[in-house]
Structure 1
């Protein structure tokens, strides 16, 4: 994982775990790496990982059982909410970028429809 300098590392770690949950790298109820393992793997301070895990616990994304590890939530509604949030963000960013190129909403819709039709024909 490569970190950018625009946002805090702990926040980037949370986003990475959310993406892994959305794309099923991590499944409902699956154990995730320990704080120590992840700190070593990513080459970051253990306190940074601790903060990320604490934030994810606060948002009910993970559950930690003392002495047993940390696990992704078992709540399918949480997974669906994260998926919807990610899709909304991706679509919004794409539309704003296309608008900044001077495309109208009708042109954007036409391009997306054309792209989807080409993709289904391949």
Structure 2
């Protein structure tokens, strides 16, 4: 994982774990690397990982069982909510970009519909 200088490392770690959960790399209830293990893998200070895990626990994204490790949530509704949030963000970003190209909402909608129909026929 490569970090950018624009945002704190712990928030980038949270975003990466959240993405892995949304896309299925991490499954519901799956154990994730220990704090120490992830710090070593990423080459970051263990306190940074501790902060990321603490925030994810507050978000209910992960659950930590003392002496057993940390696990992704088993909350299907939370997963669906995160997926919906990611979809909304991706669509909003795409529309914003296309508008910056001078495309109207009607042109954007027609292009997306055409793209989706073409993709469905493959």
TM-score by length of 1: 0.97
Long gaps (5+) in structure 1 = none
Long gaps (5+) in structure 2 = none
* 1:26-64 superposed Cα distances (whole Å, 9 cap, x missing partner): 111110000011011111111110000000000111000
Q: Does 1:42 align with 2:37?
A: no
Q: Give the secondary structure class of the aligned counterpart of 2:21.
A: helix
Residue 53 of structure 2 corresponds to: 53
Matches within 5 A, 1:1-122: 1-122=1-122
Indicate the RMSD between aligned Cα atoms, in angstroms. Answer: 0.7
Q: Give the secondary structure class of the aligned counterpart of 1:63.
A: strand
Q: Which runs of 4+ in 1 moved over 6 A?
A: none
Task: Number of aligned residue pairs: give it.
Answer: 122
Q: CA deviation at 1:5?
A: 1.1
Matches of 2:11 and 2:84 in 1, distance apart? 19
Q: CA deviation at 1:96?
A: 0.5
Matches of 2:111 and 2:18 in 1, distance apart? 29
